[in-house]
Amino acid sequence: MITKDYIKDFIPPLKVTDTAVRALQWMQSFNLNHLPVVDGMKFVGIITESELMQCPDKSLTLAQLSLPYRKEFILDTQYIYDALEFVTLKGLDIVPVINKDGQYRGLLTLIDIIDCFAQTSSVKTPGGIIIMRIPIKNYSLQDVARIIESNGANILSTSLNQTDDDPLNYELTVKTDKLDLTRVLAGLYRFDYNVIASYQSSELSSDLQDRYKAFMTYMNV
């Protein structure tokens, strides 16, 4: 579940040549409080509606204004769980996504992230999330399940992905009913599984649902 696979391009970024008036119009059109700004392909930062409203001359371009850009983003190689953590901790309703060279790739909204997690029920039930990279020739969900269950956890859901960048391996995401993944991870390591990320979702799940309700209320105003 790599972030770049979920990027949306129907919300374009603002350009430094756009005026504050145009930026506010776009925020109103998309029902967002924040939007990313780019200079060519380079990500400049995030501006907020409140900062734009304080500008005395809204006919000026963003480049002409001294705005406190927020340099907040995630990389396109990070996982969708990192996007979940981003909106929870940063208090933003968008997640700008850039590549390793600082070029803007697109964004995710809070609704995009919730939709993604709703498909796997990851938001509904507290638990731990483990992401593994497994060679296709060695893949066996039965073996993975046996290790997880023998270490005191139950599997709530799984997601199997394969990308063009890595045709020889599967990426398996497992949601368990245990927040403390210490025993499960130790068991997987003991059998030489390549665990590339793990997350605890209880606090994030609760906060994300609160933010979802607030965001939907805002959209319905």
Last residue of a domain, one of 58, 86, 117: 117
Number of domains in the chain: 2
> Do 111 and 32 fall into the same domain?
yes
pLDDT tens for 81-115 read: 788 778 777 888 899 999 999 999 999 987 777 77
Q: Indicate the residue among 95, 117, 139 that finishes a domain.
A: 117
pLDDT digits (tens, 9 = 90+) for 49-83: 999 999 989 999 999 998 889 999 999 988 877 88
Alpha-helix residue ranges (DSSP H) falling in the chain: 20-30, 49-53, 80-90, 110-118, 141-150, 182-190, 202-219
Polymer length in residues for the chain: 221
**What is the model's pTM?**
0.59
DSSP secondary-structure letter at 2? Answer: B
State the pairing for strand pair 128-135/194-200: antiparallel
Q: Which amino acid is at 209?
A: Q
Task: Report the chain's mean pLDDT, rounded to a whole number.
Answer: 84
pLDDT digits (tens, 9 = 90+) for 24-53: 999 999 889 999 999 999 999 999 999 999
Residues 106 and 141 both lie in one domain:
no
